[in-house]
Structure formats: structure tokens, C-alpha cells
Chain A
């Protein structure tokens, strides 16, 4: 592989998150290196999605610290995270259902557009130029993910597997530095999973995007990730390269102890 894994760009330190009495995350620390694919695994309710939500500021942890590119923060803020180059997909698809694929992707690039509503209203100079320039970028993403044929379709009418792909496309449209993917292959058939795997690897390899990925399919995780964090009941029980994690007795116990 051409890509070279770099230094730590995201460092999470002693993160604890509670919802009332529920301890979703307890004292969790791990880091993410530039250009790597970092997986988060664990049984249902382990706190994986909560972890992603902490990373891009949807949830604010009660304790801990987030260090991104050397900048220390108590918590992230969604807007700051988006500006810093985080993009994500959600476990339950969170597309803009009434909008076309094209508009979803264009919306994904909104932070890169600088024209204001008066310019939009008059469809004037910068507004028009920007619309064209970004359309070109968006078409690149559309090509990349093979979704040319559904460009103009409202996403609500697409089948589940394609919606998952469009959601990845919307995240990519933002040209992110770090991509957070919450179960991108859940509910897909084997073929769709293979496509999705290929896309994720291509993104990582060709665009150099760092990826944090939650996935239940062990085969997939072991295949594509560089390092894996294992959570169980909000605690970290394993962290390392796939082979180490696979043979970690605590991890094995956690997985044997729960059904999927």
C-alpha cells in the first residue's frame, strides 16, 4: 500500500460520559493516527456510537480531554468539528430525505461556500460561480462512488443500501480529513458490503483520509482496519492491531457473553 501511517492526530484522554445514571463511557483513552483506519468494536450498547458522538461534538463528555492536531479541548463542538475537517455517517441513516442526491452532496460542502443569501437571491456573480465550481467537485465524488444514475433522485426513494452509500458520499463531499463511520455496512447483503469495503479502502488509500469506523462484522473489521479499540459496557477492554485484539481473552469473553 502506498499510504504511510502518520503521527497521532486525534488523542482522546480519559473520556467519561453519563446520561443521568447510565454510564455510557467510562474513562476511555485511545488515539488515532493520520491516514489509518481505526475500528471501534464491541457488543450492543457498549458505547461505540456515543464515542463517535463525543469525537465530533454531538455529545459533551463530563470528563476527559480531546486533543486534535495538538489543540486541547474539554469537548468538541459540532460546528468546530466540521470546520476542522470531521465528517461522518450515522448508524440510522441521517440523510436529507426530501432532497436529491446531488443536493445532499452539495449541502455536504456548505462550509466551503462563502456566498451569502443576497447573492443567492439574485443568482449573482459569486453565487453562480460557486455553485458551478462545487458542482464539479460533487460530481467527482459521484463518480468515485458510482452513483451517477441516481444524481437527481430524492434520497427518500432510494433503497437502503444505496442510501448508506449516498451518506458516505455526502460525508466525502466535504473533503474531510477524518471520516467517522457508524456501522456503514449494517443491514447490507454480502455484495453491498464488499462494495462498501472497497469504497472505504479506496477513500483511505487514494484520498489519504483518516477513518474511524464502527462495525459489527468481525471479518470486515479484521480485514480492513489497522488498529482496533474494543469497548464493553462503556469501558475499554482491548486496543491494538487486529491479531492481538482477536486473541485477547477479555475480548473473547465479552463476545462470547453476548448474542448478536
Chain B
């Protein structure tokens, strides 16, 4: 009754091509932004900033990155964490080696460095697809982490590659407190999410999806496969790289190469599978889900064990977490490959018809 486009006639194609053509969606987004930028900083506790909100935003960004490559352009990658590592270490190096380098410029350059590395490791995609490409990106994953451990130069000669990032200061304002770091991350992620949405709804995004869905036909209508795939690798790695820089500078403060392991890559892959392959919104939903699930289980399982008088210890809890994860991934892969984003969309379609089912 309340959520529908009835009466909102599109009088121009411009109106029809807005990001959110339905008025209620636009209002929703504005409310969400107000909540994120105004209410949260006032209401949330330090625990929420540090343990939930900041990592949620950063992983959403990485998930958008992977979604661009895998969800939109159809190139499966298992190297997201490695590209985050490139971003983290690049930002660190620009910060400590270049006197007076503004931090935002470092983040930008971190993204670009990661994009460059991404293009390099994207080259095999011109020849191979699917499973074999995934294996090639796996090589990137191991090679990059190995490089960061092996060459002390990359970590400014710190032992075993651990880097501790300097504090953040922009135009004389320090970003130390959790809510300050949160706001910085939020601003960057919101901006880059908008940019990603713009790309995927334009010619760039259509070229990616065309290559994903039917590469011969894409070529026949004049899309250049090489350029399109490498651009997807570049942009995807840019996003992962910026996410990595934020991960080091705004979340952990100190990182080591092994922190960017294959596990982390898989975690990001699970985010897009659960959230929705080929959806920007899904990247956020998936990140929230994958981050919140363990926290939820941490609280819920001990409670359950107390209730049922079962002897759950810490190890059992983490095993059950893994099992729940596995089951969910299988559920989404089999039942709803388009993830939570699709469920959300179906929900909206139902709502549009409500209360009359037809």
C-alpha cells in the first residue's frame, strides 16, 4: 500500500534512469545516510565503532571490489585479500617515505598501486576462464603475501613485515577517536559506493556484464574483451586496495602480511555470495551478515548451551560457527545465487503488491 510507484509516472527517461527511481527508496536512502552520518556518531559506543561499524564499512568496500570483478564482470578471483595487502602496504610506504604526503592522497595512490598490480594479475584472464582463472588469482594471493614477507623494503625494514601505521591527520584535524575514524571511513565508502553504482549502471557496467554473460556476443557487438576485463581487474583492485589501506589505517593500526591470507579472501568471497553476486547493495548486506553472524553466534551459542545444559566450550562454538557458515554458503549457492539482495528485492516486489497478492 505504502511502497509502490503508482502515481509516480516517469515523464522523462532522465527520471527513469535515476539510481533510485522509486520515491520511497530515495527517502529510505536519505534516512539511512542521516542515520549513518548523524545518529550513529552520537549514539554508538566505542565497541560498536571498533568491532562492528568500521570493519563492516571496510569489508563492504572490499566486497564491492570483488563484486565488480566477479559479480559484474564474471571473473572469479580468490585474491581480494592480497590486493587489500597491496593497498595497505602501499599507503604505508607513501605515508612514511614521502614527507608531508596527505593521507587521502596516500589512500588514492594505494588504490592506484593495487589497480596496477590487479591489471598484471588480470592478464591471464585474457586466456583462461572460471576455475583456471581462480587458480591463477590464487597465485597472486600467495605471491603478494610472500613478497611482503620476503622483501623488508616493503615494510620499511620492520621485522617479519609487520607495519604500524602513523596517526591520521587531514588539514590539521586528527582522526584518532573511534567515531572520527568511523566518519572518515564512512565518507570514503559512501563516495566509492556511489561511484561503483554509477559505473555499473552505465556503458562500463554493461560491458562488464556482457562479457560475463556471453563473451562471443559481447565481442560481436564491438566490446573489446581485453580492455573490459582488465578494467574490471583494475577497478576491483582499486577498491580492494583502498579497503586495505583503511583496514590498516582506520581499523587495526598495525598489520602483518599473514593477516591478508587466503582465509580473508574467502571471507570476502562469502560476503558477495551471501549478499548477492552482481549487486552493490548485496556487498553491504553480505559484509554485515558475515561480520555479525559470528558475533551473534558467540552470544547465542553459550546461551543455548546454558539453556539446554550442553557442555559447549570455546572450540565447539567456533566449530559450530564454521558449520553454520558452510551451510549458509551452500544454501545461497543452491537456492538463491543472487543472495540477500535478491531476497530484499523479492520482499520489495511483494510489498509493492501488498495487501493484494496479485
Contact = CB atoms under 8 A, between A and B. Distances in A.
Contact of B212 (A88, A98, A110, A121): A98
Contacts of B199: 117, 120-121
A107 B202 contact: no
Interface string B207-241: 10110111011111111100000010001000000
Contacts of A121: 195, 198-199, 204
B224 A79 contact: yes
A98 B204 contact: no
Interface stretch (A26-34, A129-137, A189-197, A221-229): A129-137
B198 A111 contact: no
A75 to B, nearest CB: 15
B203 interface: yes
Contacts, number: 104
Contact of A170 (B14, B195, B219, B221): B221
Interface string B1-27: 000000000000110110000000000
Describe B's contact surface by its main secondary structure: helix
B65 interface: no
A78 B214 CA distance: 15
Contact of A96 (B16, B198, B210, B224): B210
Contacts of A82: 220-222
Contact of A131 (B17, B235, B278): B17
Interface string B180-207: 0000000000000001001100111111
Contact of B198 (A110, A123, A132): A123
A103 interface: yes
Interface in B141-160: none
Contacts of A87: 220-221
A139 B220 contact: no
Contacts of A106: 203, 206
A122 B214 contact: no
A3 interface: no
A113 B199 CA distance: 14
Contact of A115 (B16, B203, B207, B213): B203
13 contacts: A79-B219, A82-B220, A82-B222, A94-B217, A96-B212, A99-B206, A107-B207, A110-B207, A123-B198, A123-B202, A131-B202, A135-B13, A174-B221
Interface of B: 13-14, 16-17, 195, 198-199, 202-207, 209-210, 212-214, 216-224, 231, 235, 278
